[in-house]
Structure 1
Amino acid sequence: MYRIFSCITELHHPGFVIMAALLCVVGAAITLRLYRRARETQGIQQVGWCVLAAGTAGSTIWSTHFIAMLGYRPSVPIELDPGLTSLSLLVAMVGASAGLMLAILPRWRLAPAIGGAVCGLGISAMHYLGMLAYRVQGLVSWDHGYIFASILLAAGLSAFAFQLAHKSRPKWYRHPALFLSLAIVSLHFTGMAGFGVSPVLLEHAVTNPPVLQALAFAVGGVTLLIFGAGVASYLIDDSVRLESLTRFKYLAMYDGLTGLPNRESFSRNLELALSQARKSGEQVGLLFIDLDGFKAVNDLHGHAAGDQVLQQLGQRFSALSDERVYPVRLSGDEFAVVLRLQSKAALEAFVEQLQASIGEPMETSFGLFNLGASIGGAIYPQDANSKESLLSNADLAMYRAKSELSRQVCFYEPEMDERIRLRKSLANDLRIAIEENQLQVHYQLQTDLASGGVRGYEALLRWKHSTRGDISPVEFIPLAERDTTILALGEWVLRRACQDAASWTQPLSVAVNVSPMQFIHDDLASLVQRVLDDTGLPPERLELELTESSIFADRDKALAMLTRIKEMGVSIALDDFGTGYSSLDILRAFPFDKIKTDRSFMPTIEENPQAQAIISAVLALGRSLNIPVLAEGIETPGQLELLRNMGCAAVQGFYLGRPKPMSALVEAGQLSLLGAMQPA
């Protein structure tokens, strides 16, 4: 140990030693920074960072050795072999490259240590190759013990340094750059401690110290330039990464079209506002905003027009925002505003300002648009005591604002909004019931009055809720018609009715009601054809019942679709005739297979002349157009006899048979099934 110490203090120039040590520490730190960056990347980027790190490491190793050698004072003249000196630099870079490539191998726990050891062997090869380029005027001797110790120190300390580099935040005294520097320095000075020279002086042989000093500074300067290139690359990459991270963060937290905060930002800001309100005693207002008329802009002028409208709204909402007002875009044409306020009056005043901002005409390249909005609001803590209940109550208030045509702004009212909550909960349960096949189809008999025989059955939907019991179609059908649930419900009933009817041995018809929404949102003809193909029911056994409102929603489209269905062989019945429009033009435009009178006429038909006159007129109209009429709602023998005398073709009602599941009809002997088929 003393020999190594004396080698440093007595045989080396202290200025050169300090210069070499500083370059070594700085270079080791830069090398390991670049190595960490290589581990964070993949593919060609990883190779590029490895090459840059290897160049920095090779320069560090070589310059440390070269400057320290220039500071060595053997007391005899020296000279350097330029070829071997250059080759030693190449060996340093190749050894560092091999070690770095091994160290970044994935899924190998010892890869960093093995890569570091290879790098240490590269340091050793560079050092002793450089010593061959160091020519002295004397006889050179080596102590093999020091040589072995120097190589072991270089490999071991390098391996430890690279293993430490995998820790996220090592302490300063265990910093990997410190141990990599020790690996380089310990190799040199331990190896030089084993280096001995016996002088053999030749005439005119002399060393020029100023030249050596100039060469040392030149090597140090070039090395610093290489370090600068590595640091610059690292800093440029950091800057690009920061810009990308900032951009990604913006995209994650803000809406790209309007520039407003998005749903994620909304959730975080709402939590922060509620947390501050709990501490300060302030109130937090929450508004949900749904644009009225925006769908028409998209449908009539395209999405580009809708985007321009949303961009203008984003600018207007941004102008309203401050440290207490936080507007966001949730999705599509849905927005929200979080407000920190002192009273409900402040919220109402802001709503007026908000309505004025939305209602101002919007000038776009597609024309001038005027929109409104349905706004629902709730206040913490008077309307809700948690984030979830505040969100729910504000949403219920907006739902009520959309459903009440006379009001565009609604604030949470417990009694009214709880009823809405129950309806929304029931609508959700209905969607689950459709998916999990929890509904039932009951069948009501349709009787031919002339023969007394069975004409067919009408399929009627029934729902027995798991907790609320039987729920009337009058209650759940309107819920389904509020959104696209009615489409799934209509398809489910049609498929089940056709499947059941296909299993009957009697070739009776089955009548299925069709919702007006199915004409607007669905290709009903394709659905009917698909269901008939899947169930195997002959088309002539299926009858679709629709009301006049279905046709008036989009007359041309509805009549074209009914024509396609009729061409398949499916019958079409006009339901609830005598109420609503009762347009004779509809009967003229489309040849229906049946007219069904509305059940509302039946309770008073026996004693009410006006009701009798209306039914008599409908029957006469049917006979003149050659369309049979079926009367619904027969509940007494007198009603049945009166209709028989009027010449009604067919009837159905509780007096003739209540709606029953197919299994009950089979048990009663009214229906029989093909083969061993069992009722669904």
Structure 2
Amino acid sequence: MYKIYDCLTNQHDLVLVLIAIAIGLGGIHTAFNLYARACIGRWQQKIAWLFLTGVVTGGGIWATHFIAMLAYDPIVPVGYEPGLTAVSLIIAIATTMIGFAIASVAGPHLVLSRVTGGLVVGLGISAMHFTGMSAMRVPGIISWHMDIVIASIIMGAVFAMLSLWFAEAARTPRQKLYGKASLTVAVATMHFSAMGGFVVTPDPTVPVPAQLISQHYLAIGVAIVATLLIAIGFVTALVDRQMRAHVSNRMRILGDSAIEALVLTQNGRVVDSNESFLRLTGSKPHEILEQDFLARWLPDTPPAFQTGNLNYVETSLRLDDQKELPVEVIRREIPADDISDDTIIYGLRDLRERYAAEKHIRFLAEHDSLTQLLNRTTFNDRLGEALAESDETGIPTTVMCVDFDHFKELNDSFGHIAGDHALRELGERLSKLVTDEVTIARVGGDEFVVLLHHQGRTKATEINAHSQEVAQQILDCIALPIFINQENRAKLSASIGVAHYPVDGADAESILFHADLAMYRVKQSGGNDVVFYSSEMDEEYRFKRQMASNLRIALENRQLELYYQPQCHADDEEIQSFEALLRWNDPELGQVSPGRFIPIAEETGLIIPLGEWVLRTACMEAARWKKPLGIGVNLSAVQLQKHELPDIVASVLAESGLDPKRLELEVTETALIHNPARSMKILSDIKKLGVRIAMDDFGTGYSSLATLQNFPVDRIKIDQSFVNKLVGNVQAGAIVRAVINLSRDLALDVIAEGVETDEQANFLTDHDCRAVQGYKYGYPRPIADYWHIVHPEEPVPGTTEPVVAEANRHSGIETV
């Protein structure tokens, strides 16, 4: 080590040493730029670039060696044999070209090829050095310290191997820097270490050939060779770099303009990417270069995609924090050209938005948009799966039908916006009850269904108890007040029908139907309760269906008829008008009470044509009466919600020719409050026709005074439930007196219905009730039985005897 140091400091001109190192750095700098270019492109271009790399590298190292030799002072005159000097240059160029060529070979053994290439370069440096030294001629004896020589060869080889290992493909500035520094160290350590083992013993007797290159001319030649080689290499690399930079810049602008992420790879390694990919992965450009693209970011791609047999795949992009993004990837291959190797372009598109949109679409397809609960279609699918599972496990499945009580009144009172708000809030509450065992869906309007699994429960008592528990939770959830506005809170209840599979039904349709039947049984009982299905409900339903079918046939075949009940003056019992009452005598069912078939007509919608038939028939009949008595016709709640009702009334009046003042339409308080605004408009339009309006069953509702104030009522009918209790019931008497006084104060007529006894009649007369109706004054009968009333002094059809004028009194009615 001391010999090397002594040789460097005492036997070398340090200025020339620095110049030698500078020239070596220049050559090596240019050489690695050429090597980087030689690592890409087709083999024809690679060979050319490798040759130029070898020329520049070998020439630079050769120039460094001989300039360093000029800096060496052996004390004796020095000359150089031309042939060996030229051979040393050829050795430097050839070995470095071969070494760089080996290192540039891509394949599965990259490290081995680079290390081997570095070894060739290192040994080539030593071969050039010692060949150049053998060309040296001095008047003396040259000898070597072989231990130092061997060490110098080893150091040159090691640093050369490290150089090409660090440099890899010399794509990045860092790789080039490491390669240049290591190769410079290899050249310097090898040369100056070897010179430390070089010994010259002067001997004038040693002959020196005449044809030698003097150091002066050698310096000029070396300077010219080094300058030319480095300049040629530098200019060539610069021109090529600018050309490739121009192409690369155009491609980068194009790539960065794409929304999709683009990645370019060569031999599986990333060589470039656009800004979209960097943003997608949160990376910087230098962090992705030379990374194995598929292994690093797309490890889950199928083998067919990795080998190129498949060009499109949807997979996950793995990020640094182990998070994964869904992406679609397309693979395209670009064959090698004069500028680059075989290149594979990967285009990636972030699928998060698409997956989110698809998820949202699926959610909309499967859920109700208002309540966010499942919709009917999805529920039916879940129900089918649950029934199949029940068949396999033997554990029953329960279905509940839930319908809110009086929800229509909430809509009518506060509007549909408030109704939607209530449904949203109830949907949110019910969603909190959803578990693995409980599935809830909205199937329309205010109708909901519940699918209940009974995990681990097999006994009927356990299943019923579990169903009752869940149903009660639903009732409690719905019973909480709902905020409508600052002044109002709505409180709802629900009717719940329950049916078990397979006990109460053999398939999805029947189990839903039976749960619905049970729910309607709750409705009929006042709501806010839970009822389990039983077989008699099915029998009742079939009976109703039969009745509805028969009623439709009766309407079409004119099997219905009207009975008329007289309405009399309380003092003299003179008949003032008749109330038309519908009767139906079915061939199969016999005489059917209106209390049975009217609700069915309202449920099925038959009440609309049925009501119009009653109105038309009664008006036609009354218009034929010789005595112009009044005629009263009842309107159902369903009819009162039809906008076309005033037009129908006008049409019937025009068709029959009946004086509108003779017609009185009777409505109930309950019918009015279904939709107060609509009812007000319809009744006002009817009132404009000259028709009278009577409020039937007054006092049985819950808004009587408000109804009298807001609606165009002409007469009040005191409900028979109060009249029946007049005798012996102080409260009933007080209510009747209050209604009579109220009607008088409001300038309204009043009539009491359901009068059957003299005591009831006397009470009403004593308290100034001027009109009465009931069995005491006449039963509902066909109009022929009252012929002597409506056609006084005319013979009854089919007879020739006239009826006396007094026959319109109560006593005459009783004798008919």
Alignment TM-score, normalising by the size of structure 2: 0.41
The structure whose Rg is larger is: 2
The structure where helix makes up a greater share of residues is 1
